[in-house]
Amino acid sequence: EVQLVQSGAEVKKPGESLKISCKGSGYDFPSYWIAWVRQIPGKGLEWMGIIYPGDSDTRYSPSFQGQVTISADKSISTAYLQWSSLKASDTAMYYCARHRDYGDSRGYFDLWGRGTLVTVSS
Amino acid sequence: EIVLTQSPGTLSLSLGESATLSCRASQSVSSSYLAWYQQKPGQAPRLLIYGASTRATAIPGRFSGSGSGTDFTLTISRLQSEDFAVYYCQQYGTSPVTFGPGTKVDI
């Protein structure tokens, strides 16, 4: 089955670090870009950035550049999203999605993980 | 960046009716690179349409997309109970890709 499986929900305190994961299966994981998309509770979708697991080429949305780090390990078909110092405003659902690329970081998303809920609260 | 506006914000309809959802872009979307997604409560988004009018794999024929330039439409004919959800448009013609705020289709 073609799928993306994300790590479980996290509850963290402000200032803590966090790394969440997204494991692909059923397709050639290194050959497709993976995107991360944020959804604040009750709000819309925001594109954060993409990574090509084959060579770890990474692109960020200007809104998220410097705020998060996207990485991947193609040997275990897994992409990651990490924070070095969480803020309460990082509380959201984070989805990974397979990005069908049209160049220059443009593309649509044809396969989604179920999301990882990150809650940051003191 | 391209700003997408969706209307109406909420569409209240009955089973069997048709739904017409609008997505308007602040500037022309090149090559009609526009996608539509469905999101049900507690679920991830699901791709319905890409390239403005091409249905994604396993999407029923009652979903259709149209439009070009700055105006795009998603039409859902003969609404079924499983179609009540929030629908988002997304442009990928210009970087960064952007999403609309969504239209909720409810009973």
The predicted structure's pLDDT at residue B36? 98
Round the average pLDDT of chain B to a whole number and report it.
Answer: 95
Decide if pLDDT at B55 tops 90.
yes
Q: CB of A106 within 8 Å of any CB in chain B?
A: yes
Task: Please list every residue in chain B whose beta carbon sits closer than 8 Å to the beta carbon of residue A41.
Answer: none
Nearest Cα of chain A lies from the Cα of B102 at a distance, in angstroms, of 7
CA nearest to B55 within chain A: A110
**In this structure, are strands A78-83 and B71-76 parallel, antiparallel, or unpaired?**
unpaired
Q: Which of A93, A106, A114, A117 to probe by mutation at the B interface, max B CB count within 10 Å?
A: A106
Nearest Cα of chain A lies from the Cα of B37 at a distance, in angstroms, of 9
Tokens representing A62 are: 């200007």
The predicted structure's pLDDT at residue A102? 83
Residue type present at position B87: Y
Query: Which letter, b or e, does each residue of A88-119 get, where b requires 16 or more Cβ atoms within 10 Å of its Cβ?
Result: eebbbbbbbbbbbbbeebbbbbbbbbebbbbe
Q: In the predicted model, what is the mean pLDDT of residues B53-65?
A: 96
**In this structure, are strands B4-7 and B19-25 parallel, antiparallel, or unpaired?**
antiparallel
Q: CB of B90 within 8 Å of any CB in chain A?
A: yes
Task: Please list every residue in chain B whose beta carbon sits closer than 8 Å to the beta carbon of residue A46.
Answer: 99
The predicted structure's pLDDT at residue B51? 95
The predicted structure's pLDDT at residue B89? 98
Task: Please list every residue in chain A whose beta carbon sits closer than 8 Å to the beta carbon of residue B33.
Answer: 102, 106, 108
How many Cα neighbours within 13 Å face the side chain of B7? 4
Decide if pLDDT at B62 tops 90.
yes
For residues A20 and A10, the answer to whether their CB atoms sit within 8 Å is yes
CB contact under 8 A, B92 and A108: yes
Confidence of residue B107 (pLDDT cuts 50, 70, 90): confident
Give residue-wise pLDDT tens across range B14-38: 999 999 999 999 999 988 899 999 9
Residues of chain A with pLDDT under 50: none
